[in-house]
Chain A
Amino acid sequence: MSALFEQFVLESRELLEAAGAALLRLERDPGDTIAVNDLFRALHTLKGATALFDMAPFTRMVHAGEDALMAVRDGRVAMTGELADRLLELLDTGAAWVDGLELSQSLPDDADARARAQEAGLRAALGGPVESADGGTPTGFAWVGELPEAERAKAAGRTVTAIAYDPAEDCFFAGDDPLDLCRRIPDLLLLRIESARAWPPLTNLDPYRCTLRFRALSGAPKDELTRLFRGVPDQVLLASVAIPALAAEPAPLAAPDSLATAMLREQARILGLPGSHDETAARRAAVLRAVRNILAAEGRNAEGAALELAAEGPTDALIRCIETLADGPAVVAPSAPAVPASQARRALRVDAERMDRLMALVAELVVAKGSLPYLARQAQEGHSADALAQGIKEAHGRIDSIVGELQDAVLRLRLLPLSRVFDPLTRLVRDTARRLGKPVELHLSGGETEADKDILDILGEPLLHLVRNGLDHGIEPPERRRAAGKPEVAALRVQAFQDSGGVVVEVSDDGAGIDAAAVRRKAVATGALTAEQAAALTEAEALRLIFLPGLSTSDSVSDLSGRGVGMDAVRGAVERAGGRVEVSSTPGVGTRFRLVLPLTMMVTRMVTVETAGALYGFPVTLVTGMQRIPHGAIRRMKHAESVVVQDAVVPLLRLRRLLNLPEDERERSGEAVLLVDLGGQPVALVVDALQERADVVLKPMTGLLARLRGYAGTAVLGDGRLLLALNLRELL
């Protein structure tokens, strides 16, 4: 993949995302002119970029979107939910194509049909058949507007089909005769034969290489011409255009050309002029300078990116790009500078300051390292052990503090704002609320809170689940809200903030709340609990049952949620990231989910325990307490053991048994017990000995060991011993 193409993929994604965000703003407030302009600018730049790579369907589709927007901007059409749906669909199609392009570098086979369907859909949403006649000149047909009057006399006042036919260089070998094909164009109104480049001296001419380009106008309908050119669909562009009557009122085709437009067109023409290699190179540089200046003078710096992209490509592409620029400024309001707010997407962009800090620390480390050879020399020369130990301790202290800071600096490199996972929610809420017919206002806050890249990757999915669940089950239909005396527009809040070393994300709604009694009944019905067990649960414990696999309180399975897989998956994902989920709900008032996540996954805080001579670790986030429990306090019911902790009966498990290790035969007065919270189910775990906490860098199990699901990973402790991190849920 060429660097240019890579850039295109990256940029189109950003443009599509920017367009999506602007569209949502526009739908919320149809009078938001900044949003219209942002959206228009994004689409326009995207159109220019796609034109660079000869992706006609893509260009056409974006162009159709641009047309629709123009109608909105001019006040001809109102921004309706229907139109927004269409435009979002268009952006989605575009995004899917970009993904495909990244993989296969080509558009899907049905791209043309899809583009047409989008075009037709938009036209329908705009109300009425708007042939491209009123939508400006299609891309690649700027030349139609520039025809001298004499040449377009025959076509004046008619809607004709414009043909741009650029035969492939090797088309003669395929048996094509482009001139003959042009001869067969029905109702030919105009034919221009141009050379793609300057003619070499006759002795150097390769007569078998086609370098001619054809531009034609025909009175025949587009379909008929499509049939005629069916053998060379990749080399021909067709478009219906209306040619204004001669000496008529301002041409609707190329609107009243501004000076800038005329100048840009001229630049494109100059580029197309024949000439020697040196001449064209010099001209190209001059043209680029001129176009840059024109754009700058027009306040269209934002479009400069497309130009610079094109400047690296072949001349044809550059000409096309300049023609697109000439087609019209993307924005009318020069006051709004292009702010690509979501630049931190996909590619990890790092603050220069953070990079500098890293460099400074590495430099300090190099200096600190320098003291070690000196100490080695002292040892060799037989200095006293005390003095040596002192020196080593000092060196260790220095290096330790630098390494600590270095670790912190590296972690900071990976920190990204949560807005990355928040942004897609806007679209999700909008679509879902529309589908369900529930008016919802989404309040996002704390998007600037930072968390590790890996945490963000894990957080995205659960967050979508929670928001979707809130919309589907939490928030009541408007009638019920009205009856309950609540505002008709429901409020869904997603907020993030930092809390003692971790990130907290809360998703809350002002909906019906969760019916704890219903959850209990459901749990009993699915056989997860007995009726007695269920009755013994507190309200909070009953609520936590929704995190059990296969438990959904919704009776109907909608296409959104309610299959009972969601909440289980949410809990799983969050716990894999070393965090936990909490839920609280008040019937009739609303529900709040709280995700508590560690700031980073690189360093995990573990409680270490010793059992049968080996060390095991549990994430601190799951451990709620450590106790010594006398033997007498343990109750036995056949094989099941339990213990009363804080007035609650908690099942007691023995780690040795869970790991199939031999029983501990030693005589002890009591048991060392670790209290662990397994998604709402407290468990007491008997271990041989409790040890200190440790910050470790967990390495996941790889290869064959990856199948051992009871282990979350391994870590090497400071003294070189190996720690096995356990995944307790898998062991039970």
Chain B
Amino acid sequence: MPIRFEEKTARFEGACTIDEAIPLTEWLCSVAEPRLDLGGCTALHTALLQVLLAAGRPVAVPPEDTFLKGWVMPVLGKR
């Protein structure tokens, strides 16, 4: 399970695929103060990135992955 949805935290682990797009969207809509932990995320599908960008929630734990950290985080941080 690449994304584990806990009560207030979504933990991204490994390669997160498009299959997670709908669950992630629903979860983000239902949780008041969602906490995003991308620490273990090694790959993020474009669709998930879109959901995160649209949600505009801060990322609590940035990903370790160089590509995500270097190029994707700055965009997520801006929102």
Contacts and interface: CB of A to CB of B under 8 A. Distances in A.
B53 A195 contact: yes
Contacts of A177: 18, 45-46
A231 interface: no
Interface in A162-178: 167, 172, 177-178
Interface of A: 167, 172, 177-180, 182-183, 188, 191, 193, 195, 199-200, 202-203, 205, 207-208, 210-212
6 contacts: A172-B18, A177-B18, A177-B45, A182-B71, A199-B56, A207-B48
A195 B78 CA distance: 12
Interface string B18-52: 10011011001100000000000001111111110
A207 B51 contact: yes
Contact of B46 (A179, A188, A200): A179
B75 interface: yes
A193 B51 contact: no
B78 to A, nearest CB: 10
B61 interface: no
Contacts of A172: 18, 46-47
Contacts of B55: 202
B29 A202 contact: yes
How would you classify the secondary structure of chain A's contact residues: helix, strand, loop or mixed? mixed
Contacts of A202: 25, 28-29, 51, 54-55
Contacts of B18: 172, 177, 208
B51 A212 contact: no
Contacts of A178: 46
Interface of B: 18, 21-22, 24-25, 28-29, 43-51, 53-56, 67, 71-72, 75
Contact of B49 (A191, A193, A203, A208): A193
Contacts of A208: 18, 21, 47
Given A179-B45, A180-B43, A207-B21, 17 more contacts: A177-B18, A177-B45, A180-B45, A180-B46, A188-B67, A188-B71, A193-B72, A195-B53, A199-B56, A202-B28, A205-B50, A205-B54, A207-B25, A207-B48, A207-B50, A210-B47, A210-B50
Contacts, number: 61
Contacts of B48: 207
A205 B24 CA distance: 12
A186 to B, nearest CB: 12
A157 to B, nearest CB: 21
Contacts of A199: 53-54, 56
B45 A212 contact: no
Contacts of B49: 179, 193, 212
Nearest to B28: A202
Contacts of B47: 172, 207-208, 210
A-B pairs, top 7 by smallest CB distance, nearest first, are A207-B21, A199-B54, A191-B71, A179-B46, A193-B75, A178-B46, A205-B54
Nearest to A181: B46
A205 B51 contact: yes
A16 to B, nearest CB: 40
Most buried by B among A172, A191, A207, A208: A207
Contact of B50 (A182, A191, A203, A211): A211
Given A193-B75, A199-B56, A212 B28 contact: no
A179 B72 contact: yes
A211 B56 CA distance: 16
Contacts of A211: 50
A193 B49 CA distance: 10
Contacts of A180: 43, 45-46
Contacts of B44: 179
B74 to A, nearest CB: 9
B22 to A, nearest CB: 6
A172 B47 CA distance: 8
A202 to B, nearest CB: 5
Contacts of B53: 195, 199, 212
Contacts of A200: 54
A207 B52 CA distance: 10
A27 B50 CA distance: 55
B43 A183 contact: yes
A273 to B, nearest CB: 13
A173 to B, nearest CB: 10
Contacts of B51: 202, 205, 207
Contacts of A210: 46-47, 50
A210 B45 CA distance: 11
B51 to A, nearest CB: 5
A364 to B, nearest CB: 69
A207 B17 CA distance: 12
A675 B47 CA distance: 87
Nearest to A216: B71
Nearest to A179: B46
Contacts of A167: 46
A202 B45 CA distance: 17
Nearest to B25: A207
A180 B53 CA distance: 17
A136 B39 CA distance: 43
B52 to A, nearest CB: 10
